[in-house]
Amino acid sequence: MRNGSLTVVGTGHLIAGQATPEALQSIKTAKKFFYLVGDPATAYWLETLNPTAETLENSFRIGRNRMDSYLEMVERVLAPVRKGLRVTVAFYGHPGVFVFPSHEAVRRARSEGFAATMLPGISAEDCLFADLGVDPGQQGCQSFEATDFILRKRKFDARSPLILWQVGGIGVTTFRSKHLWSRAGLRLLTSVLRKTYPAEHEVIVYEAAQYPVCPPIIQPVPLSQLPKARVSIISTLYVPPREMARPDRRMLARLGLRSA
């Protein structure tokens, strides 16, 4: 194993409060520390933890393809690893959930013979389960990135909850500074969902709380009104089941159960 190492951590979705002790230790002891978070307060807090802190946000530029920005981040993170330093990079939420640079940096580091680790963090999905009172163990749960959901015509069960991520940026490949990146994409998503759910089916636009003094955004709307809803690039769409799934009587008998 070569000198130099990489640890990828998550900060969760609240300033300081959702970072694990394991992640904090890695941040504080790193010889070089990078971060990419969604708000200035968290950025300021991270800057106080390690004097080598450096933001990756400046890899984004308006109109630039996001993949180009992500690949630049990967190279910036790996440069000090290749010089033999112990590097930590922090992303908001869970570092492995919708974070291409984290996975690619770990993959490249390992392929070059460096130790690379990803530590789990609190994701927006974890916050959603808590804030909306959703237990995936009761009716299951299906989760898709919104653009992928449309492009690949994903098969799903309307009798289980459906979670769609990044509904505010459907079909957009470049970085933008707007609050909502694609209202047209939201309309397209609504038309796709209307093939399965009735117009009056209530869905929830959700955003995890970013500050301790602010509650999460929980916006119930009829599906037909989703294109007009207040949606941002960080919004997640929660679609409750259309109906309850009925148990298979033959399977109940084979399992020796009376009901399920």
Q: What is the set of active-site residues? A: 66, 70, 92
Neighbouring-strand partners of residue 45:
none
Q: How far apart are CA 12 and CA 91, in angstroms?
A: 8
Contact 223, 194 (CB under 8 A): yes
Q: What's the token pair of residue 245?
A: 């799934």
Q: What's the token pair of residue 82?
A: 């290749």
DSSP string, 200-229: T-EEEEEE--SSTTSPPEEEEEEGGGGGGS
Of 220, 183, 185, whose CA–CA distance to 205 is shortest?
A: 220
Kindly provide the b/e burial profile for residues 172-193, where b requires at least 16 CB atoms within 10 angstroms of the residue's own CB: bebbeeeebbbeebbebbbeeb
C-alpha distance across the termini of the chain, in Å: 52
Q: How far apart are CA 155 and CA 149, in angstroms?
A: 9
